[in-house]
Amino acid sequence: MTYPRFYYPGQIDVGQVIELPTSAMHHVVRVLRLKQGNKVTLFNGEGGEFPAFIERISKTGVLVLTEKYLDVERESPFQITLAQGICTSVKMDWIVQKTVELGVGNIQPIAAKRSLVKLSDERAIKRVRHWQQIAISACEQCGRNRLPKVLPPMFLPDWLDRQMVEQKNLSNEISHNLFFMLSPIAEKGLGDFSKFSSIVNITLLVGPEGGFTSEEKAVVLVAGFIPLRLGRRTLRTESAALAAIAAIQALWGDY
């Protein structure tokens, strides 16, 4: 039986009495209407989970007592990084939520020339916090015990410079580390890479609503990314990453 899951941002030990965060307290009392003695599961995003039960519910908080530790992992067998062109808030929220459910490990928001949303430093900080909370909620729902990171937004050229440096530190085997840029006019699809095995890292770059400019595409190719198409249809930015990750999981992952 699956019990309600809650993220706790701190150290968790067996036999520990923990006061749930305010947001979790609201969910326990107002939404799920749980009672004293009901079972729940806690995780802190660092791996594994803790079966627990509600010890006390009061107007000031909800206390739970952890019973044991379970070394349970539900992660993808390889690391998936999504570099997503920043899009409008509803679409971006959807992308974060659903790609976390599909197993993405890191989400890097990318500011491109055709991005409709421009984030100032202060606004960017607020959006990252918001997206990270969405990732937490997605982990609570889907059962993941390791928390994906939503990274601070970066301009595309700056991120590509960092990627080129990081690529030098990875294995030279292309079959272990794949770097894809989704493109509706690319010549190759995932089936062209089906012979590859022992995948370690996959980085997936997706453009914003208006796509990348020709200049941006040229720079991406110089950085070593492979153009990848998803069938003969042109997908919206909020659909492209989800379709790609689902197909990747079916080809190499745990589907």
Model pLDDT for residues 170-208, shown as the tens digit of each residue = 655 556 899 999 999 999 999 999 888 889 999 999 999
Residue 1 confidence class, pLDDT cut points 50, 70, 90: confident
pLDDT computed for residue 123 by the predictor: 87
Domains, the chain, with CATH or none: 5-66 (2.40.240.20), 79-252 (3.40.1280.10)
pLDDT computed for residue 174 by the predictor: 59
Model pLDDT for residues 35-60, shown as the tens digit of each residue = 999 999 999 999 999 999 999 999 88
Output the 3-class SS for the chain.
CCCCEEECCCCCCCCCEEECCHHHHHHHHHHCCCCCCCEEEEECCECCEEEEEEEEECCCCEEEEECCCECCCCCCCCEEEEEEECCCHHHHHHHHHHHHHHCCCEEEEEECCCCCCCCCHHHHHHHHHHHHHHHHHHHHHHCCCECCEECCCEEHHHHHHHHHHHHHCCCCCCCCEEEEEECCCCCCCHHHHCCCCCCCEEEEEECCCCCCCHHHHHHHHHCCCEEECCCCCCCCHHHHHHHHHHHHHHHHCCC
Q: pTM (2 decimals)?
A: 0.93
Assess whether pLDDT exceeds 80 at residue 251: yes
Give the mean pLDDT of the chain.
93
Any idea which of 84-93, 107-116, 169-178 has the lowest mean pLDDT?
169-178
